[in-house]
Structure 1
C-alpha cells in the first residue's frame, strides 16, 4: 500500500494580510496529480485542515474541490483534526463521508477505532488521534474507560499523559486484530526533537508542550502534524510539514510530502516528494534607495518580501515606495545602522525632568530618526497650547 503523508494545510490562512487561497489550491491540487502518477492508495492529513475553527465559505469550498480532485485521482483520504480546527465541524457527517472514501477521525472517544483498508497483503489499520487538549481530552478519555487498553484513571496531566493513554488504546485494539495487520497512526502533537517555526500556534500547557517519541512505539508508521517543517525524527516517525510557507522563518524550507510504502511486513521505505512553490519568500536589508535601484535585487521582485531598512532617518511612505518595485512586499522594519531604533530605556527614565514640549519633540525624533526642525517645534508648541486651552475650558 502506498500512503501519502500530508498535514497542516491551513486552508484559509493569510500571509501578512495577503489571501493565499489561490496558492493553496494550486499546491494542494498538485497532490492529486502526484496521487495519479505514483499510484497512491491513501492520502492522510494529520490535522489543521483549516486555519481556524470557523473557516470562511471560500476556504471550505477550496477544501472541497481539492479533496474531490484527490479522491477522483484514485486515493482514499483519512483526516484528523488539529489545534486550529474545530473537531466537531471537521468531523461532521463522518459516517456519510466514509461511504465516498473520505474518512474523518476527530472523536476522542473513538480514537481506538481504526479505518480499515486493505491491499494484497491484508488489512492496514489507520488510527486518527485528533489534537488532544490535555484537560478536555483527559476528562473525555476517563469518561470512556471501558475500551481495551484504557486506564480507569489518568492521574497525570499534560500532553504526554493523554497521548500515552491514547496510544495504549490504539495498541490494545491493534493487538486484537488478525496477525499481520499493519498500522498507521495520525497524530497532531509536538514531539521532542522536532524543530518549530514562527507560524505554529503554541500548544504549551503549564510550560510543557513536547511529548517523547517513545509514546508512539508499537506501530508501523506515525504521520505527525503540527510542526511546519518536513522532519524525520525516526524512520517511522515523521512530520510532513505544511504545504506552503506561512512565515518568513520558513523561507529556507523545502516543502514536501512523504510517500510511505507498506509491504507485507510493515514499513518498507519512505520517499520524499517536493511540492511546487507558487511564490518564493525572501528577506532583504539595506538602504531604501539601494533596494529600489540596485540591479542585484531584481531577483526578488516577484517574491513575498520582508525588508529591513537601515536608513539613519525613517523614510517616508517606505512601504508604498517599496511596493512600486516589489509588489509583493508584505513586511517592513526600520533598523538604522546605529541601532537607534532598538535602543530601549525604562519609561520613567525617559520622561524624568522633561516638560510636554520636550517629550513631544523626543517622540518625533524617536519615530523618525531625526530631530524636529524649528518650524516643527513651533507647530508642536502651538498644538500643546491648544490642548491645554481645551482642557482648561472643560
Structure 2
C-alpha cells in the first residue's frame, strides 16, 4: 500500500494580507496528479485542514474541489483535525463521507477506531488522533476510561493525553489479526522538530513538546503541526505545509512523503516535492539600490520582504518598492548599525521641551532625520489650531 502523507493545508490563510486561495488550490490540486503518477492508494492529512475554526465559504469550497480531485484520481482520504480546526465542523457527516472514501477522524473518544483498508498483504489500520487540547481531552478520555473500567489518567499536559491516546491505539491494534499494518495521524509538537514563525503555539503551562517515544509500536506516524518537512525517525515524520506561510519558510522545499507498506510493515519512505506558485525572497539595502540594482531582477515576481537600511526612513517606501516588486508584502526600516538613535526614557524625552519640540522629536524618532522647515511649519500650524480650538471651548 502506498500512502501520501500531507498536513497543515491551512486553507483560507492569507500571506501578509494577500489572498492565497488560488495558490493553495493550485498546489493542493496537484496532489491528484501525484496520486495518479505514483499509484497512491490513500492520502492522509494530519490536521489543520483549515486556518480558522469557522472557515469562509470560499475556503470550504476550495477544500471540496481539491478533495474531489484526489478522490477522482483513485485515492481514499483520511483526515484528522488540528489546532486551527473546529473538530466538530470538520467531522460533521463523517459517517456519510466515509461511504464516499473520505474518512474524518475528529472525535477524541473514538481515536482508537481506525479506518480499515486492504491491500494484497492484508489489512492496514489507519488511526487519526485529532489535536488534543490537554484538559478537555483528558476529561473526555477519563470519562471513556471510567465507562470501560480503566484507571484514572493521573498526569496532565500534552504528553499525558497523547500517551493515553496511543495506549488505546496499541490496545486496539493488538486485538486485530496478526500482520495488520498501522498508520497513525497525529497533530502535535514532537521533541526534535524544528518550528517556524507561522505555527500557532500549543504550549500549555509552558510545555508543548512530547517525546517521540510516545508513538512507539506502530509502522508509520504521519505528523502535522510543524510547517517544515522533517524526519525525526524513519517511521516518524512531518510533511510540513504545502505552501509557505511565513518568510521563515523561504528555504523550505515544500513536499509530501510517499510511504510504502509491504507485508512486514514500513518498507520505504521518499519525498516528492510540490510546485511553488510564487517563491519568497528577502532583500536588504538602501531603497534606491533595491529599486535600481539589476541583481534583484530575479526576485521581481516573488513575494518580497524588504529591509531598508537607509539612514533616514524613506517616504512612501512600500509604494515605491511595489513599483518594481509588485508582490512586496512586508517592509521594515532598520538603519545601518550606529545610525539609530539610542532610546531615551520618557522623562528625558519630555524634559525642557514644549509641544512643538516634542512633535518634532517624534518625527525624528520615526524617520531618523529632523523635520524639514516645511514640515516644522505644518506641525506648528497643527498645534496652533489645536490650541485655538481648546481656547474656544
Shorter-chain TM range is over 0.9
C-alpha change, 1:231 and 1:147, in structure 2 (3 Å) is farther
- 1:6 to 2:6 alignment: yes
Superposition map of 1:1-394 within 5 A: 1-146=1-146, 151-341=150-340, 343-394=342-393
TM-score (structure 1 length as normaliser): 0.97
Q: CA deviation at 1:310?
A: 1.0
Q: CA deviation at 1:151?
A: 4.7
Q: CA deviation at 1:119?
A: 0.6
Q: What runs of 5+ residues in structure 1 fail to find an aligned partner? A: none
Q: CA deviation at 1:335?
A: 1.0
Give yes or no for contact 2:8–2:225 (8 Å, CA) kept in 1: yes
d(CA) in 2 for partners of 1:29, 1:382: 58
d(CA) in 2 for partners of 1:348, 1:125: 67
Q: What runs of 5+ residues in structure 2 fail to find an aligned partner? A: none
Give yes or no for contact 2:126–2:182 (8 Å, CA) kept in 1: yes
d(CA) in 2 for partners of 1:345, 1:152: 60
* 1:197-236, Cα deviation, whole Å (9 max, x unpaired): 0000000111110000011111110000000000000000
- How many residues align? The count is 393
d(CA) in 2 for partners of 1:377, 1:266: 75
d(CA) in 2 for partners of 1:195, 1:342: 35
Residue range with higher mean Cα deviation, 23-32 or 338-347? 338-347
Give yes or no for contact 1:147–1:169 (8 Å, CA) kept in 2: no
Residue range with higher mean Cα deviation, 86-95 or 352-361? 352-361
* 1:20-77, Cα deviation, whole Å (9 max, x unpaired): 1111111111110000111100100000000101111111111101000000111000
d(CA) in 1 for partners of 2:193, 2:92: 31
d(CA) in 2 for partners of 1:238, 1:70: 22
Other structure's SS at 1:89 match: helix
d(CA) in 2 for partners of 1:299, 1:74: 39
Other structure's SS at 1:246 match: coil
d(CA) in 1 for partners of 2:392, 2:97: 69
TM-score (structure 2 length as normaliser): 0.97
Give yes or no for contact 1:334–1:341 (8 Å, CA) kept in 2: no
Give yes or no for contact 1:47–1:225 (8 Å, CA) kept in 2: yes
Other structure's SS at 1:180 match: coil
C-alpha change, 1:229 and 1:374, in structure 2 (3 Å) is same
C-alpha change, 1:147 and 1:44, in structure 2 (3 Å) is farther
d(CA) in 2 for partners of 1:240, 1:292: 37
C-alpha change, 1:259 and 1:361, in structure 2 (3 Å) is same
d(CA) in 1 for partners of 2:223, 2:165: 15
Q: CA deviation at 1:385?
A: 2.8
* 1:332-382, Cα deviation, whole Å (9 max, x unpaired): 111111454584333343333432222111001111221112343233233
